[in-house]
Structure 1
Amino acid sequence: MSSIACDVSVLIPFSNGNPEEEQELLRCPLVKVQKVEYSNIHDTERLLDYVERVKKVVKEKNINNVLALCDISTFVHSAVARDFHSVPGPSVEASFLAFHKAYTRKYMDPAASTTPYAVVDLDSPTMLTDARQALRKAVVEPFIDAENFYTVDGCVIEGKIVHWAITDSLRYDDQDARFVTMICPTTLTHEQQKPIWDFYDDVMTRMIRFGFNNSFAHIEVFQMKDKQLKLIEMNARASRHHHALYSRCFENGRMDHVSLSAGHGIRHAPPVSTGKHGIMYLVKFQELERAGNLMDFGQIDKLRTDPDVHFILTAGPDEEVTDFFGSTGAHFCIVLAFGNTRTAVIRKLANVLRLTVKKPEKLTYPIS
């Protein structure tokens, strides 16, 4: 990895700010980060109005980088990159294709012809009729033949695809959604990884044709019983959760640091393993209630001193957690655990859950 002296002023959309994250960005070793600006949408603000407001901030504060860390922020990033040539980033078209899952399958999946789907406009007055017709001609595939699930991360810098990491998952055959967690590094050999990276390259080559550049993208892939790979989802951005995992398991593994340096002439290579193993686990509950009834926040505070445990919380102990936006599922806590072996990190995670989960019988994916 090469470095180059340049000044970066970054804006993070859809965020109210995070002092710890800001300090980490300011310590980026690849570029000199002058300032970090945060911006969030107002409750009644339309997305288009928010984008225009962000553009004013970019102009007034001389922003030359946008760090997209959630799906919808990719639209802000691409809209700014389109109108401000000093800001590197993907095209609006590429961001749309990643965000719109039906079009992801149609245009990005090398095996798209084998996966039937249908699109229904939920705002249409004929929505119910359209849905019935769609069900008659489309088959909802439950992926019951999927043997493995992999998350594959990489980036495109100055038109070049750079591989980052493949992570494994745990499998629960008694659940409809059978795969959960990200475990790193993968146990796959280099020979076993090759078809997955070839698949990723095929997907990203298609994205590049639609204008994707200077950004991370991760895909989720099922490996079927016949070893065929199927694209499940694509996200055209870095991830706070992923780089929390990668920053411990890989040297120079932070995705946000690489994103800050994108478009500034810095050449990147795949990160090198530190020898550390890690697991990211979404603490999912079958039913939700007040967060403090489900998890012991006192124990969580005590465990924050453990360098091999990290919590990402989206609710406090007194908050009722019954409504969720998006497809993240019924959870308000993510636990990351680290150790010197895969067995050790799973054991570490199990111990953390025993200490912090008040109602283990409600866990969707118990760890023992």
Structure 2
Amino acid sequence: MLAVIQSSIREYPLKPQHLLPLALATVLIGCAPSPDEELNATLPQLSLKELLPQAVANEYCNPKLDSDLLYGIGYQLYNDDKPEQARSCLIMAAPTHDRALCYLASIAEQDSSKDSAERDRQAFGYMAYSAVKNDSCAEFGMFQNFTYGMRGQTPDIDLGLRWLERSARHGDADAQQTLVRLHSNKGNLPLAYSWAKVLDDQAQIDALKQRMNPQQLSEGEQGFEQLSKIVTSKDAVRKEAREENIAVYSANIHMEYPETFKGLSVAERHALMEQAVATVSARPEFSTRGQFYAYVIIAQQAQLKQTGVDVLQNPQIVELLSDTELEVSEAVKKADVILGQAAL
């Protein structure tokens, strides 16, 4: 999540016990318009053509790169505090990756070359486009915009809550956590309990149980049963996160070891990275991103020398990869020696 939740949510003048059942009923019985359509109608309807300036190629990104690499490189450059370079990459990735707009919004609101009104206008526009596309990051941003009057918006607490619930329904853990705290602070323990169950936070579930009577607990269980029908499943959230991670991991390897993916199509590279994620995740001795990168690079270099070879069948390679302190470059060098010796 790009923005940090304020440590203490204000005491909103809400009647939350009336809000969730209405939204649930509308979704579950299929009434039109849906809550999401109503929320979308509160935002400007923008196109990427209106929003995005012309992307300028730089040393990291150009239009010849596929969208996953463009998004992953943009994300990495954003984290490396290189906003201008990140901006160009994310603009190129935006037609395929809605989440890119959420990062572009953050970059825009820090752009010192524009006045505050223009920064707010551009950041809100990026976020609005992404929120309409159901990106939970941007939806959470809309909660902040309308709750706290951020990015040039007039405070509207009720509207902010609706965006918070939408972000939570789409699987955003920060939004779900915020709803638990908000409803708990307002004394609506059944709703807080329902969202704690969605979040699967056992500590909060147990703490709420201590404060609830049997009727409240029954209401909380019923609320959770309703929410489970409309909240994006954890499996779907994990799949989305895995796809984003694959894009970022692929970009990082491409930036540091571009020969690793030479000759592979986009589909082949994705399949390779997906399999690598599954392989490394199943091995408890591999716990760092550096170990993952080293494994992918070493495995691919081995494939170039001998098709079908499994480097994890080599005890020396496994021992090498198990060293969490070893730099990726050093691991790759040592593996090259080990694999060379094995081929003799």
User: What's the TM-score once normalised by structure 1's chain length?
Assistant: 0.28
Larger radius of gyration: 2
- Choose between structure 1 and 2: higher helix proportion: 2
Q: Which has the higher strand share?
A: 1
TM-score by length of 2: 0.29
